Each structure stands twice: as structure tokens, then as C-alpha cells.
A and B are shown apart, each in its own frame.
Chain A
Amino acid sequence: QSVLTQPPSVSGTPGQRVTISCSGSSSNIGTGHAVNWYQQLPGAAPKLLIYVTSDRPSGVPDRFSGSKSGTSASLVITGLQAEDEADYYCQSYDSRLSASVFGGGTKLTVL
């Protein structure tokens, strides 16, 4: 059972907009700890996609965006492309556990 809750799967067709949610609590997202997102392509290591809620590392397309409200966060992908098919993980810090915590991951399928 992950501390952060994500839907197991989402899907969309090329060009569509998809949203992946990440639900936390008052000891992690709700306390203002940064929410970060990672993309893991099949067979590869995770890669930082979004940091501190909505910032993108160099090289990440602006089709990817993040937001946060209360104890939840969201990753939005617009103009969906076949190469976006991957697993996506949210991550934050939990003050009660004194540990970094991840969501269970969301598998994005591009139909």
C-alpha cells in the first residue's frame, strides 16, 4: 500500500489530453513538501519529469505540466504521443515517516 495514491492505469489516443492524479495527506503533499513526477519507459530507469510541483528539467517538453491543490497533485500530458507510453510516479516527502514516498505508479497506454 503506497503512501501516495495514483490510479493504476490511464489511457488516451494520440493528440488527447490525459491527467494522472496523486493523492496524499497532511503529512506529505498537504504540508507543502514538493511533489515530483517521474517517467519510466519500459525496461529503463526512472527519469525526472516534473519537480517542485510544476517545473520541468531541461529537455522535457512543455506538453507535460504539473499542479497541486491541498493534499493532491496532478500530472497533465497534452498532445499525447505514442512515445509517452510509460509508467508515471509521483513522489514527495513524508514528515511523519521521515522518508521519501512514492505513489504506486500509473501505466499510461496510448491507444
Chain B
Amino acid sequence: EVQLVETGGGLIQPGGSLRLSCAASGFSVSYEYMSWVRQAPGKGLEWVSGIYGGGRAFYADSVEGRFTMSRDNSINTLYLHMNSLRAEDTAVYYCARVNHNYNYFDYWGQGTLVTVSS
């Protein structure tokens, strides 16, 4: 059974850093295209970043240069390193597995809430 479990969210001051984790089971992240998607309170879904099996990562313009997506294949876990956090980064962050041929998000985690506030 495919499962994704995000952890690491919390309250952080503007300008701070945070690392989110996404533990995967039921498949190997090293072979799949994986993404982070966020949802601000009461708002819609926003794609944040993605990483292919080969390790190349891509980012939305809104987080380029501040966020870094990585993975540890040995423990089947994804990470989202977030720096220079802003109030507008406040959101529930979901990790998701993506079908790389047709770009659909077939499995989602339960999400972890990041609140950027002083």
C-alpha cells in the first residue's frame, strides 16, 4: 500500500528556516517523480517543487532560490528545505507522487502545517 507521511511543520518567524520530511512506503521514491504542493488557509492548491528520479529538482517562481527539494533514497524520504520564510509561505504542505508521463498526482500525504508569523 502506498503511503506518504509528512512531518516537520510548525510555527516559525519570518526569515527563519524549516525542513519538512515526507516518508514514503509501498514504492521507491528513487524511481518516481515526487512533488510538494501547498495550500494556504482557505485557498487553493499551489505546486511548489518537484524532483525526478534522476535527482533534478524544479521549483515554482514563488519559492525559487529559497526552497530546496531533496531526497534520501536509503530511507525512502523526501525533504523540503525552506529558507527566508515569509508570511505568504504559511500553508499546509503536501507531498505527492506524480505520474511523470501525464503529470497527475496519484497519491498524497495528509499534509503538515507551516505557519510563518512573529
Tell me the complex Cα distance, A48–B106, Å.
Answer: 6
Q: How many residues of A contact B (CB 8 A)?
A: 25
Minimum C-beta distance from B33 to chain A (A): 10
Taking the complex as formed, is B103 at the interface, i.e. its CB lies under 8 A from any CB of chain A? yes
Q: Report which of A36, A100, A103 forms a contact with B35, defined as CB distance below 8 A.
A: A100
Contacts of B109 in A (CB 8 A): 45
Beta-carbon contacts under 8 Å, A1-45 to B = 2, 33-34, 36, 38, 45
Find A91's partner among B60, B104, B108, B111 (CB 8 Å cutoff). Answer: B104
| Cα separation A64 to B41 with both chains bound (whole Å) | 27
Chain B, 4-44, CB within 8 A of any chain A CB: 35, 37, 44
Which of B61, B104, B105 has most chain A Cβ within 10 Å? Answer: B104
Kindly state the separation between the CA atoms of A12 and B103 in the bound complex, as whole angstroms: 31
Q: Give B4's nearest chain A residue, CB to CB.
A: A45
Given A48-B106, A91-B104: A102 in contact with B99 (beta carbons within 8 A): no
Q: Is the CB of B105 within 8 A of A45?
A: no
Chain B nearest Cβ from A108, distance in angstroms: 14
Known: A45-B94, A45-B111, A98-B58. A104 touches B44 (CB 8 A): yes
Taking the closest CB of chain A, its distance from the CB of B26, in whole angstroms, is 15
A80-108 toward B: CB 8 Å interface, digit per residue (1/0)?
Answer: 00000000010111000111111111000
Interface residues of B, Cβ cutoff 8 Å to A: 35, 37, 44-47, 50, 58, 60-61, 94, 98-99, 102-111
Q: What are 16 A-to-B residue pairs whose CB atoms are below 8 Å?
A: A45-B94, A45-B110, A46-B105, A46-B108, A47-B108, A48-B105, A48-B106, A57-B106, A91-B103, A100-B50, A100-B98, A100-B105, A101-B47, A102-B37, A102-B45, A104-B44
